[in-house]
Amino acid sequence: MAQWQEITGGVTAPKGYQAAGIKAGLKPSGLPDLALIISDVEAIAAGVFTTSQVRAACVDYCRQNLQAKHGARAILCNAGQANAATGEQGVLDAVESAQLLAGELNISPKSILLASTGVIGQRIKMTAMARGIPQLVAELSPSASDAAAQAIVTTDLVTKSIALETTIGDRPVRIGGIAKGSGMIHPNMATMLAFVTTDAAISPHLWQEMLSRAADRSFNAITVDGDTSTNDCLIALANGQSRTHAITEKGQDADKLEAMLTAVCQHLAKAIARDGEGATCLIEVQVTGAQDEKSARQVAKTIVGSSLVKSAIFGRDPNWGRIAAAAGRAGVQFEQENLRIQLGDFLLMENGQPLQFDRPAASMYLKQASEGAYLKEDTVLILVNIGNGHGSGIAWGCDLSYDYVKINAEYTT
């Protein structure tokens, strides 16, 4: 029996959360561009952020608040302007955004976390922000997760949302999440933007540890184009409104909650990879036989991030040599005579030696995956074994199409 079940509601599925998403006039397109997630009570907050040395003002703002161990009540996200590389004025704009929302909600600015997405080098349109915040607060609803998910996207073709439910101490516990991301995806922490909520009661240090591990096994295991964003952030709130006992140490309940958190993050991460700009299919690389999980993930992510592998899959070319070459340059030690590569049901290489296989049928497998875009059967599965170790890992990505170049060549024009 499954440990949890999927439910509706996204970030407002857990008890004690509301959300909103509106058109504030931040995007030139006039589409929804301002989102808010709020907990009815102060929540434990955890976060993982970009490792880029060029960071948006919201990233440093959130880091400072989390390091100060403030509880959190709200997450405010604007789309349209990244507010990255905008100097001191960008920092002041971020602070003012928090102050404006704090005044409207009658809470402390220190209990507000911020996120931004859009064009690097552009400041937030503060006139539109100031005008939009009262409307945003007025639109808060326990059923508005979808509106918030829509308001955080940029080049995404679809919104990303999930909610799961399990039981702890015979009471229901829920985790919900929304995310955005399509291009500039090669996280060294999380992804473009992801927000997770739970009504579980948990200690701050355990929640942060769980989130960091979940990020490594999800958002840190995807790549679209090899570019890490200036604005990457994964923020998770836990408000305790399930009324279950507090999880303060490792054990069965902690393991169950972390497993569900990881499942939520993996669902959102795969949705981002599947929605890669111009992508026609999701690629999943499973690596086994490594010394440890980290090494296996490193090989998997190198393969799925290879422009040559991605291009071959888009061209429906079962070119196993590109997979072997990517595995070999991943920086993980293994003996090439142990290398085994399989594409779907097609075994291409074993014991470091090429095998005869039905090339037209393998090419058709890739073609069928591209025709199943946004369905479960759109996944191209690559299985790689590099030895006899116990380490295994998975990474996700997408193919590289002509449209990716077109979308990004015209991004600011």
**Are residues 315 and 333 in contact, defined by beta-carbon separation less than 8 angstroms?**
no
Give the Å distances, CA to CA, from 283 to 222, 273, 370.
Answer: 10, 8, 10
**Gyration radius of the chain's alpha carbons:** 22
- Rounded distance, CA 282 to CA 28, Å? 30
Q: Does residue 166 have an active-site annotation? A: no
| Residue tagged active-site, from 191, 197, 223, 262 | 191
Which amino acid appears at position 408 of this protein? N
Structure tokens at 365: 């497998």
- Rounded distance, CA 299 to CA 307, Å? 15
DSSP codes of every residue in 34-70: EEEEEEEEEEEEEEEE---SS-BHHHHHHHHHHHTT-
- Rounded distance, CA 76 to CA 343, Å? 43
The residue to which tokens 């639109």 are assigned: 139
**Are residues 4 and 260 in contact, defined by beta-carbon separation less than 8 angstroms?**
yes
Q: Is 120 exposed, middle or buried (0-12, 13-18, 19+ CB in 10 A)?
A: middle
Return the active site residues: 191
